[in-house]
Chain A
Amino acid sequence: DTAVSQTPKYLVTQMGNDKSIKCEQNLGHDTMYWYKQDSKKFLKIMFSYNNKELIINETVPNRFSPKSPDKAHLNLHINSLELGDSAVYFCASSQDNTREKLFFGSGTQLSVL
């Protein structure tokens, strides 16, 4: 069983559309994250949720809205997609927000045309 799974793996869409990426972890972890990896491989945290509560919200446009229906899921919804949103988005989890070991999903490559 995949520990952290995210779907879809690839997402190609037009500018202006709204899209969602789903993430689920079966590790029983309390904390989940969304990271964005740009074309230069730079990895930057976007959001962090601990037990369904938002604990980190970096300087991300409000077109990005995370939703955590339960602590095993953290979905990312993006409104009005822009060219600059093209990147690989990684979901990750950790046992809790004091633990340093992250478990990553395999990424969603988003291409905005």
Chain B
Amino acid sequence: AQSVTQLGSHVSVSEGALVLLRCNYSSSVPPYLFWYVQYPNQGLQLLLKYTTGATLVKGINGFEAEFKKSETSFHLTKPSAHMSDAAEYFCAVSPGGTASKLTFGTGTRLQVTL
């Protein structure tokens, strides 16, 4: 069984500030980890994923995430927030990467202020 915990349902940052969205996972097998983004009135889009290999993964729009096995974490970061980054962000885990077994976190709403 696997689960995902996203700390903080709402995060607010100023434009240009660092974005840090936290995700911790639980998995009985080596996990595949994902971040999805949902813009208002749209479906989710894959932002980035970790499968195997390099623990620092880069995604679209300047986001990156680091897999830390010892901390069971997969936090999402972006050095400088942009207004267009305002959205809902979902962390997800899957055993072995199978899409049908994806478990999503409850999401973190990112607000970007001027």
Q: Which residues of A contact B (CB under 8 A)?
A: 4, 31, 33, 40-45, 48, 55-56, 90, 92, 94, 97-107
Contacts of A42 in B (CB 8 A): 104, 106-107
Contacts of B34 in A (CB 8 A): 100
Q: Which residues of B contact A (CB under 8 A)?
A: 32, 34, 36, 41-46, 49, 51, 88, 90, 94, 97-100, 102, 104, 106-107
Nearest B residue to A91 via CB reads B43
Cβ contact within 8 Å between B97 and A98: yes
Give 17 A-B contacts (CB < 8 Å), ordered by A residue: A4-B43, A33-B99, A33-B100, A41-B88, A41-B107, A42-B104, A44-B104, A45-B100, A90-B43, A94-B99, A97-B99, A98-B98, A99-B97, A101-B99, A102-B99, A102-B102, A107-B43
Partner of B100, one of A41, A48, A104: A48
Contacts of A40 in B (CB 8 A): 106
* Apart from the given pairs A44-B104, A99-B98, 13 other A-B contacts in the complex at a CB distance below 8 Å: A33-B99, A41-B106, A42-B106, A43-B44, A43-B104, A90-B43, A98-B98, A99-B97, A100-B32, A100-B51, A100-B99, A101-B49, A102-B102
Cβ contact within 8 Å between B43 and A31: no
